[in-house]
Chains A and B, each alone.
Chain A
């Protein structure tokens, strides 16, 4: 395939991945890796490197907007970034020694988990129970709502921190933002309001990805010929997605379509991983 044709195909595919990823909140990384490896036969290491770059671009771009609105809990993000960056570093370092088959299977499993997570009902939760550790670390915060500032507390700091360590390893190993795992940690374990956990997770993704990207960059995983169309495509797709989101409120059916697509891709990754054809 010539450079021009391959670049155009990747660009269009990445745009669609970024668009869907932003509309459903799953992120573009989870679609782009199966697209590059299964459809285009690109080596999974290059796919992971390119995806990681697109993850940094989209998360930094959207974090810029959220941070200004004051929803992001910057202290909580900074504190948990210790766990995610340490995990990401470990993930990127061990990625070299792990067989690609295993990476493909693990990717499929995380993909299905992300799809299930995106279908959950998102009920807003605001807790006021005090936790000593959260208080010491100044993690409790407030966020703006139409009804004024609402304050909330953070629970189970240790459990959340541990889950973030795991999210970091997965992010470093697979080249995705692992936003689903981050939200699981903050939403499910630390009991933070949904709006705060999604925006703070997004805020952390860029730094987490950067910690493993510095390793991948030196190992030659990030090829400019692939990373260029992937990063541009996913970023533009995510931008279009955020514009559409403002105008439409219901995206229920879209979530289902995406979850089905993702599950099919995930099964293919797992199948190819087990049969050793990736």
Chain B
């Protein structure tokens, strides 16, 4: 019975993390969007050729500086990064949940998933 109880506990925590993550990150994206439209609404854009993203939204330092100088696209990008982090945070909390349940098989499985995501992050940087 105690195992069952803890499984439902974990479900409640996971549900809360996902909901809060989406709500907070999308609010940040929205605020950034409003600022971006206010500052650049009349500018002309062309996305037909792939040229990557502007420098100030491609590095963590640039995004942080952009947030403090209220640049809309830097704020949007910060919200997007938080959104990408939401399912990853969910996986981290699942790992903690499995440790509490003393389910070592699933603690290991969850850690493998985390390892894959982090190596994906590093390989993307190298490429």
Contacts and interface: CB of A to CB of B under 8 A. Distances in A.
B45 A210 contact: no
B52 interface: yes
B106 to A, nearest CB: 6
B117 A206 contact: no
A6 B117 contact: no
Contact of A2 (B42, B72, B87): B42
A40 B46 CA distance: 10
5 contacts: A53-B83, A60-B18, A68-B15, A82-B112, A217-B124
Interface residues of A, number: 64
Interface in A18-76: 40-43, 45-46, 53, 56-57, 60-61, 63-65, 67-68, 70, 72, 74-75
A265 B49 CA distance: 21
Contacts of B73: 224-225
Contacts of B11: 67-68, 70, 72, 74
Nearest to A226: B47
A192 B111 CA distance: 25
Contact of B80 (A46, A78, A222): A222
Q: Is the interface of B mostly helix, strand, loop or mixed?
A: helix
B26 interface: yes
Contacts of A4: 37, 41-42
A85 interface: yes
A214 B120 contact: yes
A228 interface: yes
Interface of B: 7-8, 10-12, 14-16, 18-19, 21-22, 25-26, 29-30, 32-33, 36-37, 40-45, 47-53, 57-58, 72-74, 76-77, 80-81, 83-88, 90-91, 94, 103, 105-106, 109-110, 112-113, 116-117, 119-121, 123-125, 127
Nearest to A136: B105
A86 interface: yes
Contacts, number: 204
A8 B65 CA distance: 28
Interface in A185-237: 206-207, 209-220, 222-229, 231-232, 235
Given A81-B113, A212-B120, A222-B53, A235 B26 contact: yes
Chain A CB within 10 A, most for which of B51, B58, B120: B120
Contact of A215 (B42, B105, B123): B123
B85 to A, nearest CB: 8
Interface in A110-154: 137-138
Nearest to A218: B124
B88 A61 contact: no
Contact of B18 (A137, A206, A224): A206
A269 interface: no
A246 interface: no
Contact of A231 (B29, B37, B106): B29
A231 B80 contact: yes
A15 to B, nearest CB: 14
B58 to A, nearest CB: 6
A232 B33 contact: yes
Given A46-B47, A68-B15, A223-B53, A85 B113 contact: yes
